[in-house]
């Protein structure tokens, strides 16, 4: 008998709502169906403005919270109809919500995801789990990244040095080295600056196949300037987001440079690949075992990023997670279905070594 959960994710790129139907039975995690529903331009614009300006009115914040809750609910109901799913068979929905600010350091750490889960539960009629990050933070953790626990559940292999790399708006790694504690953290930007820069210059949402970046040349001086950011010197556990890496940050870095827009795009690709490779090259691996880098997220579809990773990481076989049977587009949605399963069964779903929490806990709040 199937044990069905739905996972919902809208990430830093804000390009859409990813939904996955997952069966979690007999120790196996099986993705059954998935789809992506576009983020309406009006909502995306409001979210980007909020994340960039870091200022808002309470009414605007409340309205966005409501709009996102309705968007998630509508997308889930559409997904259920399209895939002829019996709602009564769904144990729970796991919805990450949209991060608008993540500040795990400082005297008053906090993180904020919006998208009212009460609305999702009411509109779908299905128990919904949300607010996954704050309990980890309540126990002293970063509240991120959360997917390494899921990556451990599906990819840990005693015969392989494995790193799972998610290149969304922000890039994060899960390090699965045999006989070592699992660690994971954000390496820095993924697509967030690439998407923002091409949108500003060409009014496109992303650089398809990295073609625009390929038309430019990497500027090594700018690359060094970008890499000279305090975040990259911090030890793990650590996490970041749009509150640091955004077009305002980039514009400040570009002040003393007179470069073509495409040269800047090419340098941003190298920046993403370089900061990822720098972290992976620091790892202590089992020298006698093969090394596999499994890539997922939107960046897995950028051949220029994948090519640069292969060059910068010669010891590593660079693959997408598709070769392991997990669609690279669906990884995080599947992960939040699994996190919902853990919460419904009161199972620990964070890894203290990853987040810095002082104990393992079952993450998420149940809305019915």
Looking at the DSSP assignment, which residues form a beta bridge with residue 92?
5
Closest CA to 188 of 290, 260, 272: 272
Closest CA to 312 of 290, 329, 293, 289: 293
The reply to whether 16 sits in an annotated binding site is yes
The reply to whether 17 sits in an annotated binding site is yes
Rounded Cα distance, 334 and 22, in Å: 7
Rounded Cα distance, 345 and 337, in Å: 12
* Residue 210 and residue 288 in contact, taking contact as beta carbons nearer than 8 Å: no
The reply to whether 18 sits in an annotated binding site is yes
The reply to whether 39 sits in an annotated binding site is no
The reply to whether 365 sits in an annotated binding site is no
φ and ψ of 234, to 5 deg: -70, 140
The reply to whether 15 sits in an annotated binding site is yes
Torsion of CA 129, 328, 314, 303, to 10 degrees: -130
Rounded Cα distance, 307 and 318, in Å: 9
Tell me the angle at which helices 261-281 and 192-202 cross, rounded to the nearest 10 degrees: 180
The reply to whether 14 sits in an annotated binding site is yes
Rounded Cα distance, 161 and 177, in Å: 5
The reply to whether 326 sits in an annotated binding site is no
Binding residues: 11-18
Residues in binding site for ATP: 11-18
């Amino acid at each position: 008998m199937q044990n069905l959960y739905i996972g919902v994710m809208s990430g830093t790129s804000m390009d859409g709502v990813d939904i996955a139907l997952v069966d979690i039975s007999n120790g196996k995690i099986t993705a059954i169906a998935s789809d992506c529903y576009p983020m309406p331009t009006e909502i995306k614009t409001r979210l980007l403005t909020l994340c960039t300006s870091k200022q808002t009115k309470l009414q605007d914040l409340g309205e966005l919270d409501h709009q996102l809750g309705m968007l998630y609910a509508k997308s889930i109901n559409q997904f259920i109809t399209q895939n002829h799913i019996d709602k009564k068979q769904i144990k729970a929905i796991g919805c990450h919500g949209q991060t608008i600010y993540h500040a795990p350091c400082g005297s008053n750490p906090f993180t904020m995801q919006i998208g009212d889960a009460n609305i999702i539960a009411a509109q779908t009629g299905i128990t919904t789990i949300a607010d996954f990050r704050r309990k980890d933070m309540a126990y002293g953790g970063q509240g991120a990244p959360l997917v390494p626990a899921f990556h451990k559940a599906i990819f840990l292999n005693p015969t392989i040095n494995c790193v799972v790399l998610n290149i969304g708006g922000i890039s994060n790694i899960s390090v699965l080295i045999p006989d070592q504690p699992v660690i994971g953290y954000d390496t820095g930007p993924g697509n967030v600056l690439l998407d923002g820069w091409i949108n500003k210059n060409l009014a496109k949402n992303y650089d398809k196949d990295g073609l625009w970046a390929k038309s430019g040349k990497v500027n090594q001086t700018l690359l060094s300037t970008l890499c000279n950011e305090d975040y990259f010197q911090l030890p793990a556990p650590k996490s970041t987001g749009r509150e640091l890496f955004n077009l305002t940050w980039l514009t400040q870095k570009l002040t003393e440079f007179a470069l073509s827009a495409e040269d800047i795009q090419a340098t941003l690709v190298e920046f993403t690949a370089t900061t990822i490779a720098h972290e992976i090259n620091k790892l202590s691996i089992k020298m006698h075992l093969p090394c596999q880098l499994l890539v997922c997220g939107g960046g897995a579809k950028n051949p220029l990023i994948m090519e640069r990773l292969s060059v910068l990481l010669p010891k590593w076989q660079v693959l997408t997670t598709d070769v392991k049977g997990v669609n690279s587009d669906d990884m995080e949605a599947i992960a939040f279905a699994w996190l919902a399963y853990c919460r419904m069964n009161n199972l620990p779903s964070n890894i203290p070594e990853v987040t810095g929490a002082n104990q393992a806990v079952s993450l998420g709040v149940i809305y019915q």
